[in-house]
Structure 1
Amino acid sequence: MSDILSHFQFGEGYLTAGKAIQIARGEIKGIISKNSREKIKNSRKVVENIVETGHPVYGINTGFGPLCTTMISKEETKILQSNILQSHSVGVGEPIDTEISKLMLILKLQSLAKGYSGISETTMDRILWHIDNDAIPVVPSQGSVGASGDLAPLSHLFLPLIGLGKVIYKNKEINTSELFKINSLESIDLGPKEGLALINGTQFIAAHAVKVVEKLHSCLSQADIIGAMMIEGLQGSVKPFYNELHELRPFKGTIHVASRVKSLLKGSEIMEDHIDCDRVQDPYSLRCIPQVHGASRNAWLHLKELLEVELNSVTDNPIIIDEELTISGGNFHGQPLAMAIDYACIAASEIGNISDRRIYLALEGNSPGVPKLLMDDTGINSGYMILQYTTAALASENKGLCFPSSADSIPTSLGQEDHVSMGSIGGRKALRVIENVEKILAIELLTAAQAFEYRKPMKSGPILDKIHQMVRTKVTFAEKDRVFADDIEKGIDIVKNKTIITLANDTTLDKKLSLETKFSSLFESY
C-alpha cells in the first residue's frame, strides 16, 4: 500500500466518486470525526427513547414493509434487527466485484455518519474496521429492485456484522466465522433500528455508478485520442474541430472534445501534407467526433453531478431528525440515479458505435495511401477485415443492453413498495456496456495504429507519435495475417490500464491543453 496521502472525514467531508475510489484503494484513509460521533450518539439516543416510550415508529418498534402496522415489543426490537439481515439476504448470481463491495461499505459509512440514522458507534467502527482491513463481504449481484434501498445486496454486505456470510480476506474467500477467529472478533449485537438503517439505502446503485463514472471517463478520454489517431491515419480534416464552428453551437462537451482533438493534431506533418487536397468533407465518424463524443461527455457530467449529491445524502428510512420528528419517507428510492445511469449507458454505447464506424471506414481503402483492409498483400491475407466483425458484434450487443432499466417497475412487498427504480439492474448493465466499449476502443487503437503506419515517414503531433510508438512496443505492424486475438488482448490491456491517457498527460502539449480548455475542470476530474 502506498503512503497515506490524507484523511477523509466520514459524515463531514464532501465525498466524490474519485475520493471514494481512493479510499477503496488505500490512497486516502477514512476516519469518523469527533463531530460526526457526537451526531451519531445523539441520533442513537433518540431511537433508544422511542423504544422506551413505546411510541410507534416504523422499523424501530414495528415490522417492515407490509408488516408496518405490527407492533414489536421492547424485548424483541433487537431480535427484529438481526432477523431482517437474515431474511433479506436473498441475493443470487455471481458475486459483484470486490472493489464495488468495498465501495458500498464506504458509501454506507458516509451516509450513516451524517447522524440521522440511529446507528451505534460500535456498529460504525466495525464497518470501518472492514474497510481498513480489507475484509470485504461477498455480495451476490442479483436481487435488488432499487427502491426500498438495495435491500438484498446490503443485507449480504452486513451479514458479517452478526457473524454470518462470507468475506474476501487476503485474496481468499472465507466464512465470517473464520475471519472472527483470525482477528479475535465477536459479532455485533445490533440495537433497535440498526438492521434497517444498514439495509435501507442506495449504496449498491451508487457504488456501481462510481465505477461507471470512473470507467466511462477513461473511455471518453481514450476515444478522443484514438479518434485523433484515426483522423491522422486516414488523413481527415482538422477544420471540423475549429473553435469558430463550435462557438455557434456551444454545448460544453462538444467544445471540450473539439479543443482537445485539435490540440492533439497540432504540429502534425500529416495534417500539413493534405491541407490543399480536393476532398470536401469527411464521413460523419470523423467529422462529427466533437458532436458525438461531446454528447456522451455531457451525459457523463450529468451522472457525475447527480452522483455527488447522492454520495453526500442520507438515504435510509426512517430518518431521525430530532426528538420531536422522525420521518418515514422515500430517500431510499433509486430513481434519481437510475435514470442518469441509463443515460450514461446509452452514452457509452454511442462511443462504441462511432468507434466501430471509424474502424469500418479504415478498411474501405478510400483514403489515399492506405490499402484496403489495411494490408498490402490481400487475397491470400484477410488483413484487418475480421477485427471489425468483433466490434460489430460488441456494438450490437450493447444496443440490446441499452433498454432503460428505469422504464420498468414491478410491485413488491405486497404492494407496499408499488413503484421501484431498477437502478441496480441499470448499474450492472452499464458496466457491461462499458466493458464492451473498452474492447471496441482497443481494436480501434490497433486499426488506427496500422493506418498511421502508412503515413510514415511523416510525423504527427508529439502526443500521437508517442502513443503510436508505445503501441508498437506491444503490437508490431501486421504485414500478413496472424492470430489477431493476441493483438486484441494486448490492446485491451492498454485501454484498461489507461496507458495512452498517462502518456498524453505526461506530454507538455497535453498539459498546456488542460489549461487552454475552458471546460476541462468539468470533464477531467471526478
Structure 2
Amino acid sequence: MITLTGEHLTFLEVEKVLYQFEKVTASSGAMEKVKASRAAVENIVNDGKIIYGITTGFGKFSDVFIKKGDVEALQLNLIHSHACGVGEPFPEVVSRAMLLLRANALLKGFSGVRPVIIERLLDLLNTKIHPVIPQQGSLGASGDLAPLSHLALVLLGEGEVFYKGKRMPAMEALAFEGISPVTLTAKEGLALINGTQAMTAMGVVSYLEAEKLAYQSELIASVTLEGLQGIMDAFDEDIHLARGYQEQVDVARRIREYLVDSRLVTKQGEIRVQDAYSLRCVPQVHGATWQTLRYVKEKLEIEMNAATDNPLIFDEGRKVISGGNFHGQPIAFAMDFLAIAIAELANISERRIERLVNPQLNDLPGFLSPEPGLQSGAMIMQYAAASLVSENKTLAHPASVDSIPSSANQEDHVSMGTIGSRHAHQVITNTRRVIAIEAICAAQAVEYRGVDKMATATRNFFNQLREVSPSITVDRIFSKDIEAVNGWLKGLGAER
C-alpha cells in the first residue's frame, strides 16, 4: 500500500502504482490539512469575499462576481466548457498517472477541496477505472485545463473511461464498482483542472521508459561491439576519469562489465588502431544522455509533489493568493531536453546499424544477408531506422519556444509543455524501434563471428533475443521482427 502525503511521492512508488497496480491511500495527517483548507473556502463563500475562482469567473472573467447560490453551477460549467480535448486518448498508464498525481497535489492542503474529491480520485485508481483523456488541446499554462477536465468529468459520472479492457461511459464503470459520483462545490472544479498533471504524468511515464531504454541501448551497443570486433581500449576507465563526467564513467564501466570475458572484442592495433565515433564514443554520447535524464528526473520529482493550482490557500484561509504555479515551463524545458537526449541515442544507434550492414565498412556479408544479391537481408531495416531517426529530429524541435496568447490576452504566455511531453514520448517510442533494429543486426553479426566467443552477459541477451527474433536464414517480413523485439524490450524489467 502506498500512502500519499502530498510531499514525498517517489519514482519507485509511482512505478509500483502504475505497473504493479499497488493500492493507494491518503495519510490521515494530509487529510487534516485538506479539511482545514476546505473550511477556509467555505468561509470565503459564506462571507461573500471576492476571491478568484471561488466567487469569480475564470480567466478574462475574473472580474465577474459570482453569487453564493451559483458557486456550484460555476464549477460544473467550468468542467463542461473546458472539456474540449481532441485527438487520440492518452495511454491508460498516463491516465492512471494523472489520477495519482492530482490526488497527491490536492493532499498538500493548499487547494480547498473536500476530502471526498481525493477519495474519489483514489477510488478510480484502486479500481482501475481510467478516464479517457484526449491528448491534444492543452497549452500547458493555466494548467492542463482540457485534459484534466476530461478526468474531472468521470468524478461527476460523465465522460468515458477504460475499464476491464473496454471503453465505456463512466457511469457504467462507477456503478459496477459501487462508486457514487460527486457534485462539485466551490473551488473544486478549478482545483481539479488547474495543474500540470497531464504533462507531468506523460513525463513520468516517458522518463521511466527512457531510463530503461538507455540501459538497454548500452547492452545492445555492446553486442554491436562484438559483431564489429570493437576496440576496448576506448572504454578504459582512465580515459573517462580524465574528463570527469560521472555518467560517462558509468557507461564505460557497464560496457566493460558486459564484455569482460568476450573473445570477440579487440585491443588497439590488433585489427585497427581506432574505431569510428559511433563505437568509440558510446560513453561520451550515452553518458550525456544520462546527464539529461538526471536533470529530467529531478524536475519531475519536484513537480510530482508540487501545488500547481490557483489560487492557493495558506494560513487556514488568512492568506489566499492568485499566482502562477500552473505554468508548465519547468516541465516544458525538461520534456524538450528529454526528447533531444533520447533522439541522440537513436542517432548514434542508426550509425552503428550502418556499420553492421554496409560491406564497405566491415568484413561481414553485405547487409548481413544469407545470400547477398539474391536476398537483401537487413538492407531495408537500416532504411526504417533512418526514417525513425529523421522523424525524431522534427519531434525534437522544442515545443517550449512557442507561445500563443489565450483568454483574451489575460493568459498571454504559455508553456506548450504537454505538447513537449507527447513529443518526447513519441521520440522514445521511435528510438526503441531503432535499437530493436540494432539488436537484430548485431545478433546476426555475432553469429558470423561465433556466438561461443561472446561475453557471458551479451550471450545471455543474445539467447533471449533469439526466442523473439530467429536468425536470418532467409528473407522474411522483418517488420514482424522489429515489432516483436520492440515489444520485448518495452516489457523487460529496468536495470537499477
TM range, normalised to the smaller chain? over 0.9
Alignment of 1:428-447 (within 5 A): 428-447=422-441
Q: Which residue, 415, 431, 450 being the options, matches 1:421?
A: 415
Structure 2 Cα separation of the partners of residues 140 and 314 of structure 1: 23
Which moved further from structure 2: 173-182 or 159-168? 173-182
User: 1:251-290 counterparts in 2 under 5 A?
Assistant: 251-271=245-265, 276-290=269-283
Report the 3-state secondary structure (helix = DSSP H, G, I; strand = E; otherwise coil) of the residue aligned with 1:42.
helix
Q: 1:458 to 1:135 in 2, by over 3 A?
A: closer
Residue 455 of structure 2, aligned match among 448, 452, 461: 461
Please tell me whether the aligned partners of residues 58 and 68 of structure 1 are also in contact (alpha carbons under 8 angstroms). yes
* Deviation at residue 453 of structure 1 after TM alignment: 0.8
1:294 aligns with 2:281: no
Which structure 2 residues correspond to residues 341-380 of structure 1 after superposition, within 5 A? 341-365=335-359, 369-375=363-369, 377-380=371-374
1:452-504 residue CA offsets vs partner (Å, 9 max, x unmatched): 112216422211011112222332222332222222222222222227x6xxx
Misfit runs of 4+, over 6 Å: none
Q: Give the CA RMSD over aligned residues.
A: 1.6
Q: Corresponding residue for 1:316?
A: 309
Match of 2:10 among 9, 16, 34: 16
Within-5 A mapping of 1:10-409: 10-12=4-6, 14-271=8-265, 276-322=269-315, 323-365=317-359, 369-375=363-369, 377-409=371-403
Structure 1 Cα separation of the partners of residues 193 and 469 of structure 2: 48
| Partner AA of 2:214 in structure 1 | L
For 1:306, the aligned partner's letter is K
Q: How many angstroms does 1:99 deviate by?
A: 1.2
Question: Per the alignment, in what secondary structure is the counterpart of residue 275 of structure 2?
Answer: coil
For the 8 Å contact 1:235–1:367, the answer to whether it is kept is no
Letter in 2 for 1:497: G
CA change 1:161–1:487 in 2 (3 A) is closer
- Letter in structure 2 aligned against 1:279: R
1:278, 1:52 → 2: CA distance?
Answer: 84
Amino acid aligned to 1:91: G
Percent identity between the two aligned chains = 42
8 Å contact 1:18–1:214 — kept in the other structure?
no
The answer as to whether partners of 1:146 and 1:424 remain within 8 angstroms in 2 is yes
**Per-residue deviation, residues 231-266 of structure 1 (Å, max 9, x unmatched):** 011001111111100111111221111111111111
Structure 1: segments with no counterpart, 5+ residues: 1-6, 506-523
Q: Deviations over 1:30-59 (max 9, x none)?
A: 111111111011000011111111121100
Task: Tell me by how many angstroms 1:187 deviates.
Answer: 2.8
Structure 2 length as normaliser, TM-score? 0.96
- Gap runs ≥5 in structure 2: none
In structure 1, what is the Cα distance between the partners aligned to 2:164 and 2:463?
38
Structure 1 range deviating more: 198-207 or 24-33: 24-33
Q: Is the 8 A contact 2:468 2:488 kept in 1?
A: no
Farther-moved stretch of structure 1 (147-156 vs 188-197): 188-197
Taking structure 1 as the reference length, what is the TM-score of the superposition? Answer: 0.91
Q: Secondary structure at the match of 1:405?
A: coil
Deviation sequence 1:68-119 (CA, Å, 0-9, x none): 1111111111111111111111111111111111110100000000111000
Question: Structure 2 CA distance, aligned partners of 1:180 and 1:480?
Answer: 53
1:280 Cα shift?
1.1
Alpha-carbon distance in 2 for matches of 1:251, 1:120: 48
User: What amino acid does structure 1 have at the position aligned with 2:447?
Assistant: E
Cα displacement string for residues 94-149 of structure 1 (whole angstroms, at most 9, x for unaligned residues): 11111111110100000000111000011111111111111111111111000000
Paired with 2:375 and 2:161, the residues of 1 have a C-alpha distance of: 51
How far 1:375 sits from its partner (Å)? Answer: 2.8
Whole-Å Cα distance in 1 between the matches of residues 150 and 469 of structure 2? 43
**2 CA distance for matches of 1:286 and 1:143?**
42
User: In 2 relative to 1, CA 71–360 (structure 1 residues): closer, same or farther, beyond 3 Å?
Assistant: same
Letter in 1 for 2:469: V
